């Protein structure tokens, strides 16, 4: 494929599990600083798409280009180092470590075995931890053991751990699942803030929340794109209403 | 420099705990015990190396190896081969059909020293081999398993199988390894009689010193970012992988380090006990070592040493009176520890230390110290940057 200006260019992406095509010839392009929301019914292949981009699942065919660099051949940690961050559906944090340690351990220096053995906590690292902690509204609870956080805080902490790495593409799988209304609003603000200088892909079911954040919406159905565009256009789409939104 | 020092010592409480352990094994025990009993303690302390290695590997890394006997044995055999060659000089083996080779080789109709015995004529090469051979072996096992993401129970079973295979191999190759009897009749180290009482004292102290050194090294590793990553990997391996770390490399490294520490224990075992045999490699010793670490507390480097001493002391006591019951008792002990005291002696200490006035004072100082150490204050620039943003 030729080079493009897109941050992420997914072309003809296919993955089949024992003949079942979970993602079928998918094409998707993400712009710089764009916040894209992917919606669709259960089993549409939303999480699988993220798995394919971050390398957790290997594709059967097609290409994924991140800043014109092919990702399908890279291993998971190489994809992360290229600048792609991924948040999992269930909050995935280190429960035995403090909030501070969770953030510090995600700092993208000292990533090799020996680098980590001789890693020095510089002022730069500390400054970055405090900056991110402020961003995710957790600067007052840095000492707290992560296991004691509320569900919503755990979700934010994981987002913070990704922000520590300053990724250019951030992928979030249902970031507001299980959050209270107030936490949802705060998360929407957080996402609007963090997409200022990076591209973000969000998978979400909560349509109110989607409206607050989405620049553009992609609707997936049976591994294919059903519709794509601005939120109000997609909501008015007959096919989308039929398979997903309901009447 | 000061920061590194406090890292190694593990803060104030860590330093006190280590000082108490050092005083106990280097002053109290040598003063209170006769040379025979102290020799037993010396032997137990060589197992403590393996228990310490398991705290790194299993307690912190979440990687259960049921084959640490492999590395203990490789270290022990390395040392035994050197001592055996020294004991097999042409004069003292003149009655053999081929003088100058170890006696068991002669019995097995070997007429020349096998090539892999040659390096063990030199002490520096032997010491190098004791450290490097087990590490390379661990690297090969680790590379093959962790790169394929074999972990958990499968890893435990495979290490167990390798321990069994190695012990069978040694038993089967009697001419090259001394077979089931192992390598015996070890007498001198560079002409110095290791069987004399004075040598036993010296070796005991060398052993104790090396053990403390290994604990300090382990403390450094655990207090670095590497140690934090180990805990993180034990908890959420995927998250670590998707934070840009090649998880397998970290596992391979800690497995190699654990192998090297175990091998030092094995070499010290041979020096103090005077022989090495396949019974220290197979399944039972490898599992026993895990029990030592579990009883002591699998998260506590110092606890592992006490656990080793305690279980072995119990073993000596019980197996003198009820030898056939000991294995059952040991199995029961393991189950009881896992079910009721998952953090072993160290966990019990931490839970109940607060009730004893003197100990409470010690443990109260830690949380504050730990926090102050763990979390640096916000730098001034950040706040300004925050305002600007």
Q: How many domains are there within chain A?
A: 1
Are B194 and B188 in contact by the 8 Å Cβ rule? The answer is yes
Nearest to A100 among B221, B245, B375 (CB): B375
- The interface pTM score, or ipTM, of the predicted complex is 0.90
Cross-strand partners of A234: none
Instruction: Classify A19 as helix, strand or coil.
Output: coil
Query: Residue B90: what are its φ and ψ, rounded to 5°?
Result: -55, -30
Mean pLDDT of chain A: 90
Mean pLDDT of A13-26: 90
Any residues with CB less than 8 A from the CB of B20 and at least 6 apart, and which?
none
In chain B, which stretches have pLDDT less than 50? 1, 363-373, 381-389
In this prediction, residue B371 carries a pLDDT of 43
In this prediction, residue B369 carries a pLDDT of 37
Nearest to B244 among A56, A77, A123 (CB): A77
Are A205 and A235 in contact by the 8 Å Cβ rule? The answer is no
Cβ-defined contact of A81 to B385 (cutoff 8 Å): no
In this prediction, residue A157 carries a pLDDT of 95
Nearest CA-CA partner of B262 in B323, B220, B222, B304 = B304
Percent of chain B with pLDDT over 70: 89
Instruction: Classify B242 as helix, strand or coil.
Output: coil
Orientation angle between helical segments B68-87 and B123-146, nearest 10 degrees: 160
Whether A72 maps to a domain, the answer reads yes
In this prediction, residue B381 carries a pLDDT of 46
In this prediction, residue B368 carries a pLDDT of 38
Cβ-defined contact of B226 to A93 (cutoff 8 Å): no
Contacts of residues B155-162 at CB distance under 8 Å and 24 or more positions apart, as own/partner, are B155/B63, B155/B64, B155/B65, B156/B64, B156/B65, B156/B66, B157/B66, B159/B65, B159/B66, B159/B67, B159/B68, B159/B70, B159/B286, B160/B66, B160/B67, B160/B283, B160/B286, B160/B287, B161/B67, B162/B67, B162/B70
Token pair recorded at residue B91? 């004069």
**Chain B residues closer than 8 Å to A85 by CB:** 242
Q: Residue A199 belongs to what H/E stretch?
A: strand A199-203
Residue B122 is classified by DSSP as S
Tell me how close the Cα of B235 comes to any Cα of chain A, in angstroms.
6
Nearest to B221 among A76, A88, A117 (CB): A117
Please name the residue of chain A whose CA is at the shortest distance from the CA of residue B384.
Answer: A131
Please name the residue of chain B whose CA is at the shortest distance from the CA of residue A94.
Answer: B232
pLDDT category at A35 given cuts 50, 70, 90 is: very high
Residue A21 has pLDDT above 80, yes or no: yes
Mean pLDDT of A94-110: 92
In this prediction, residue B367 carries a pLDDT of 41
Whether A1 maps to a domain, the answer reads no
Are B159 and B72 in contact by the 8 Å Cβ rule? The answer is no
Best residue in A109, A129, A131 for a mutation probing chain B (most B CBs within 10 Å):
A131
**Chain B residues closer than 8 Å to A97 by CB:** 228, 231-232, 235
Residue found by looking up tokens 């997903």 in the block: A244
Query: Residue B111: what are its φ and ψ, rounded to 5°?
Result: -115, -5
Tell me how close the Cα of A165 comes to any Cα of chain B, in angstroms.
8
**Chain B residues closer than 8 Å to A123 by CB:** 379, 381
Are A59 and A73 in contact by the 8 Å Cβ rule? The answer is no
Are A201 and A38 in contact by the 8 Å Cβ rule? The answer is yes
Cβ-defined contact of B382 to A142 (cutoff 8 Å): no
pLDDT tens by residue, B307-344 = 999 999 888 888 778 888 888 888 888 898 888 888 88
Percent of chain A with pLDDT over 70: 98
Cβ-defined contact of A117 to B244 (cutoff 8 Å): no
pLDDT tens by residue, A104-151 = 999 998 899 999 999 888 889 999 999 999 999 998 999 999 999 999
Please name the residue of chain B whose CA is at the shortest distance from the CA of residue A162.
Answer: B243
pLDDT tens by residue, B13-56 = 788 889 999 999 998 988 888 888 899 999 999 999 999 999 99
Token pair recorded at residue B77? 């055999």
Residue found by looking up tokens 């090969």 in the block: B140
Query: Residue A28: what are its φ and ψ, rounded to 5°?
Result: -155, 135
Cβ-defined contact of A143 to B371 (cutoff 8 Å): yes
Residue A247 has pLDDT above 90, yes or no: no
CA distance B48 to B309: 8
Q: Does B232 contact A at CB distance below 8 Å?
A: yes
In this prediction, residue B204 carries a pLDDT of 94
Are B207 and B42 in contact by the 8 Å Cβ rule? The answer is yes
In this prediction, residue B16 carries a pLDDT of 87
Best residue in A89, A94, A129 for a mutation probing chain B (most B CBs within 10 Å):
A94
- C-alpha neighbours within 13 Å on the C-beta side of residue B64: 14
Instruction: Classify A108 as helix, strand or coil.
Output: coil
Q: Does B238 contact A at CB distance below 8 Å?
A: yes
Q: Residue A135 belongs to what H/E stretch?
A: helix A123-135
Tell me how close the Cα of B1 comes to any Cα of chain A, in angstroms.
12
Chains A, B: CB contacts within 8 A come to 104
Please name the residue of chain B whose CA is at the shortest distance from the CA of residue A104.
Answer: B225
**Chain B residues closer than 8 Å to A56 by CB:** 238, 242
In chain B, where are the structural domains located? 2-388
**Chain B residues closer than 8 Å to A80 by CB:** 242-244
CA distance B283 to B70: 9
Whether A76 maps to a domain, the answer reads yes
- C-alpha neighbours within 13 Å on the C-beta side of residue B225: 25
H-state helical runs in chain B? 2-9, 11-23, 29-32, 35-54, 68-87, 103-107, 123-146, 152-172, 174-177, 197-223, 225-235, 237-241, 247-273, 283-296, 301-321, 326-340, 344-352, 357-374, 380-388
Chain B, 89 to 128: residues with Cβ < 8 Å from chain A are none
CA dihedral B3, B5, B11, B14 (to 10 degrees): 160
CATH number assigned to the domain comprising residue A113: 3.40.50.300
Mean pLDDT of A162-189: 92
Percent of chain A with pLDDT over 90: 64
Whether A135 maps to a domain, the answer reads yes
Are A104 and A97 in contact by the 8 Å Cβ rule? The answer is no
Token pair recorded at residue B70? 């492999």
Cβ-defined contact of B231 to A96 (cutoff 8 Å): yes
Chain A, 78 to 107: residues with Cβ < 8 Å from chain B are 80-81, 85-86, 88, 92-98, 100-101, 104-106
Whether A3 maps to a domain, the answer reads no
Q: Does A58 contact B at CB distance below 8 Å?
A: no
In this prediction, residue B137 carries a pLDDT of 97
Are B156 and B82 in contact by the 8 Å Cβ rule? The answer is no
In this prediction, residue B66 carries a pLDDT of 94
Residue found by looking up tokens 């590497």 in the block: B226
CA distance A202 to A175: 8
Q: Does B225 contact A at CB distance below 8 Å?
A: yes
Nearest CA-CA partner of B311 in B27, B45, B29 = B45
In this prediction, residue B384 carries a pLDDT of 41
Q: Does A186 contact B at CB distance below 8 Å?
A: no
CA distance B296 to B311: 9
Boundaries of domain holding A61: 8-245
Q: Does A108 contact B at CB distance below 8 Å?
A: yes
């Amino acid at each position: 494929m030729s080079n493009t200006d897109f941050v992420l260019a997914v072309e003809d992406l296919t993955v089949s599990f024992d003949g079942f095509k979970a993602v079928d010839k998918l094409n998707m392009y993400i712009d710089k600083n764009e916040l894209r929301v992917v919606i669709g019914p259960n089993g549409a292949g939303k999480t699988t798409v993220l798995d394919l981009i971050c390398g957790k699942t290997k594709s059967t065919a097609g290409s994924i280009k991140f800043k014109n660099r092919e990702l399908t051949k890279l291993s998971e940690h190489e994809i992360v180092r290229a600048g792609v961050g991924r948040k999992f559906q269930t909050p995935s944090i280190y429960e035995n470590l403090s909030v501070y340690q969770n953030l510090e351990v995600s700092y993208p220096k000292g990533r090799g075995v020996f680098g980590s053995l001789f890693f020095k906590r510089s002022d730069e690292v500390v400054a970055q931890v405090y900056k991110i902690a402020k961003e995710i509204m957790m600067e007052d609870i840095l000492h707290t053991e992560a296991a004691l956080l509320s569900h919503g805080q755990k979700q934010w902490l994981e987002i913070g751990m990704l922000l520590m790495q300053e990724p250019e593409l951030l992928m979030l799988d249902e970031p507001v699942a299980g959050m209270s209304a107030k936490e949802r609003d705060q998360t929407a603000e957080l996402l609007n803030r963090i997409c200022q200088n990076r591209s973000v892909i969000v998978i979400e079911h909560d349509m109110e929340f989607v409206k607050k954040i989405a620049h553009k919406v992609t609707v997936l159905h049976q591994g294919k794109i059903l519709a794509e565009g601005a939120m109000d256009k997609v909501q008015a789409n007959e096919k989308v209403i039929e398979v997903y939104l309901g009447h | 420099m000061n920061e590194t020092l406090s890292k190694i010592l593990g803060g104030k409480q860590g330093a006190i705990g280590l000082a108490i352990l050092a005083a106990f094994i280097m002053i109290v025990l040598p003063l209170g015990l006769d040379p025979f009993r102290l020799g037993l303690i010396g032997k137990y302390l060589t197992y403590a190396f393996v228990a310490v290695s398991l705290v790194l590997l299993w307690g912190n890394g979440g990687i259960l190896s049921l084959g640490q006997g492999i590395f203990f044995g490789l270290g022990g055999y390395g040392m035994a081969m050197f001592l055996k060659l020294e004991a097999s000089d042409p004069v003292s083996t003149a009655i053999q059909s081929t003088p100058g080779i170890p006696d068991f080789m002669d019995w097995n109709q070997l007429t020349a020293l096998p090539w892999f015995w040659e390096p063990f004529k030199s002490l520096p090469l032997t010491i190098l081999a004791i450290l490097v051979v087990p590490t390379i072996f661990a690297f090969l096992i680790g590379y093959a398993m962790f790169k394929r993401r074999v972990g958990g129970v499968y890893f435990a079973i495979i290490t167990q199988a390798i321990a069994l295979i190695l012990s069978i191999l040694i038993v089967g190759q009697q001419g090259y390894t001394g077979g089931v009897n192992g390598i015996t009749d070890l007498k001198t180290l560079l002409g110095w009689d290791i069987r004399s009482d004075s040598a036993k004292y010296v070796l005991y102290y060398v052993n104790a010193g090396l053990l403390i050194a290994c604990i300090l090294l382990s403390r450094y590793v655990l207090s670095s970012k590497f140690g934090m990553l180990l805990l993180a990997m034990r908890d959420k391996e995927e998250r670590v992988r998707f934070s840009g770390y090649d998880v397998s490399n970290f596992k391979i490294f800690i497995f190699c380090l654990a192998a090297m520490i175990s091998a030092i224990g094995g070499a010290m075992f041979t020096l103090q006990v005077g022989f090495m045999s396949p019974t220290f490699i197979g399944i039972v010793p490898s599992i026993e070592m895990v029990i030592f670490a579990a009883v002591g507390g699998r998260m506590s480097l110092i606890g592992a040493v006490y656990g080793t001493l305690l279980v072995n002391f119990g073993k000596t006591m019980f197996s003198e009176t009820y030898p056939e019951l000991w294995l059952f008792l040991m199995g029961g002990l393991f189950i009881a520890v896992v079910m009721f005291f998952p953090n072993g002696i160290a966990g019990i200490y931490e839970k109940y230390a607060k009730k004893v006035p003197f100990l409470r004072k010690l443990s109260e100082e830690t949380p504050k110290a730990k926090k102050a150490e763990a979390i640096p204050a916000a730098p001034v620039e950040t706040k300004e940057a925050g305002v600007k943003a």
